[in-house]
Copies of this chain bind each other. A is one copy, B any other.
Amino acid sequence: MKRKKIFNDPVYGFITIPYGILFDLIEHPYFQRLRRIKQLSLTYYVYPGAIHTRFHHALGALHLMQQAIEVLKSKGVKISSKEEEAVCIAILLHDIGHGPFSHTLEGSLIGISHEEISALIMEDLNQKFKGKLTLAIKIFRNQYEKRFLHQLVSSQLDMDRLDYLNRDSFFTGVSEGVIGYDRIIKMLDVHENELVVEEKGIYSVEKFLIARRLMYWQVYLHKTALAAEQMLIRIMSRAKELTLNGLEIPVAERLNYFFIRSFNKNNYLSDSKELLSNFTRLDDNDIFYTLKIFEEYEDETLAYLSSCIINRNLFKLEFSNHPIESDRIEEVRRKVASMRKYSGLDPRYMVFEGVEANLPYSLSKEEIKILFKTGKVLPMSETTDYSIQSKIVKRYYLCYPKH
């Protein structure tokens, strides 16, 4: 495979892509769209550097996949060049179904998960590329016999996670997320068709698990970023609510398509062509542009919240280990309602609660496997003197205006 196209990457230095289908997929408008979708939604309001995009993450995950494949082949694992290309396509496109503001608006705006849309887009591309993605799709869906290929794309230690921890840590500047990804990759091997990590990489895996857990609390669920994202979700709900009430809300054109429809798992396939055509032209710009329209719209609640996001006037968010008591919510709601500057605003959108959960490591899902020099293979949880945290951690929150 002749390598040719070089991308500069602040994280890895250079990423080298062979010309051919991988390069053509990157050039495709569906993929170029990822340049306009930030990896971490509004997190940049807390960590100003976190303006990196899904485009860059996908390239980075591809880069790590290429390294992983090379390591495995050097250890005698049989991987044909067709399989190599397919697993590279699979990782390149694993996030292709992300819409504007990534996870944040998945539920409130689009209504369908990004995985489902990713699948739709891959099928569409497969047609456009005359069946050349068939094997990649099989691997992506875990329908291919060499299970370890799927595990490289999606498992508790996949190239996706390695890249996003690296990249998010780099761009936020949060050193707690730094991981020894290159060491982990060098320690990968395959045993009975499963991805395993050699014994010598055990501390690097441990570090990776801890880094992921710390990044959750320090970045992904940072309370200010969470407040911003929840406010954005409320803005979209409010706009949809008004639309349902018959108002004609001005929004970015493509966005309108999603405002006047309620997609869900059961109905989105009915006209997937039109859905895709609209979805694949959406990006972060449409949302921000819409916020700026909302800012001057007559509905005061919508206008107020939009202005808050635009000018980074973010709500306060309190975490609690227990569900917020309804008394407390009522108390805060009354207080806010009593303030002159909030009169006329819908209190349900001004004070709201919610919960975020995080499972650092799952014992029930397929565990990470460690390969010992003796040939024995053990799940990670049985090999370390460090007590792996494998309980779901829930954090309840209450969110309301600062003053």
Contact = CB atoms under 8 A, between A and B. Distances in A.
Q: How many copies does the complex hold?
A: 4
A56 B206 CA distance: 29
Interface in A12-56: 13-14, 16, 27, 29, 32, 35-36, 44-45, 47-49, 51-53, 55-56
Contacts of A44: 35
A81 to B, nearest CB: 14
Contacts of A27: 312
A299 interface: no
A203 B178 contact: no
A222 to B, nearest CB: 11
B14 A182 contact: yes
A320 interface: no
A389 interface: yes
A334 to B, nearest CB: 24
A207 B214 contact: yes
A129 B200 CA distance: 31
Contacts of A182: 13-14
A311 interface: yes
Give me the 9 closest cross-chain CB pairs, A-B, nearest first. Answer: A8-B173, A285-B288, A175-B180, A289-B289, A10-B49, A29-B311, A10-B173, A285-B285, A176-B207
14 contacts: A8-B48, A9-B49, A10-B172, A10-B173, A14-B182, A29-B310, A32-B310, A35-B44, A36-B288, A51-B53, A176-B180, A176-B207, A203-B217, A283-B288
